[in-house]
């Protein structure tokens, strides 16, 4: 639409979204933000927001993502999950007050993750 996909890359750290990777991308971001400061017409701002949202989604969906990036995201998600489980279990042991719902969720998550890991190991 308005921006080219070559101006952006997928954000690797710090959340979901796009990161400008050249001066055209940064210029696009600045030009997108400027109307919010200077134009007070609600209809224009609403239409502008919808246009920019559609443009953002179009850019995001057309960006290519290679297998290595997907694998790295999967490994990071797995490691984060195991760390959260470890911290919650350790916290329950130290405080000796375990919420049954949290413990059930932790056990279920660990079981599902373990079964999935064993299943995908041979694939």
Residue ranges of domains in the chain:
5-62, 67-121
Over 80: is that where the pLDDT of 17 sits?
no
User: Which residues lie closer than 8 Å to 109 by C-beta, 6 or more apart?
Assistant: 81, 85
* Phi, psi at 19, each rounded to 5°: -125, 130
Residue 22 near residue 29 (C-beta atoms within 8 A):
no
Output the pLDDT for position 86.
Answer: 81
- What pLDDT does residue 74 have? 76
- Tokens (6 digits) for 38: 């200077």
- Return d(Cα 66, Cα 122) in angstroms, integer: 22
Residue-wise pLDDT tens digits, 60-111: 888 876 666 667 767 777 787 888 878 877 777 777 766 777 777 777 877 8
SS3 26: helix
Q: Are 102 and 92 in contact (CB under 8 A)?
A: yes
> Is residue 37 scored above 80 in pLDDT?
yes
pLDDT digits (tens, 9 = 90+) for 38-50: 998 999 999 999 9
CA–CA distances in Å: residue 25 to residues 47, 93, 111, 118: 21, 49, 44, 43
Report the 10 Å Cβ neighbour count for 59. Answer: 21
Answer whether 0.85 is exceeded by the pTM: no
């Amino acid at each position: 639409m308005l921006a080219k996909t070559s101006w952006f890359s997928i954000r690797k750290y710090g959340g979901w979204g796009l990161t400008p990777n050249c001066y055209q991308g940064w210029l696009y971001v600045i030009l997108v933000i400027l109307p919010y400061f200077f134009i007070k017409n609600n209809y224009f701002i609403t239409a502008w927001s919808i246009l920019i949202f559609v443009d953002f989604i179009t850019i995001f969906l057309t960006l290519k993502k290679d297998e290595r990036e997907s694998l790295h995201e999967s490994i990071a998600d797995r490691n984060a999950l195991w760390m959260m489980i470890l911290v919650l279990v350790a916290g329950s042991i130290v405080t000796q007050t375990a919420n049954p719902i949290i413990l059930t969720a932790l056990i279920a998550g660990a079981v599902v993750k373990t079964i999935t890991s064993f299943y995908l190991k041979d694939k």
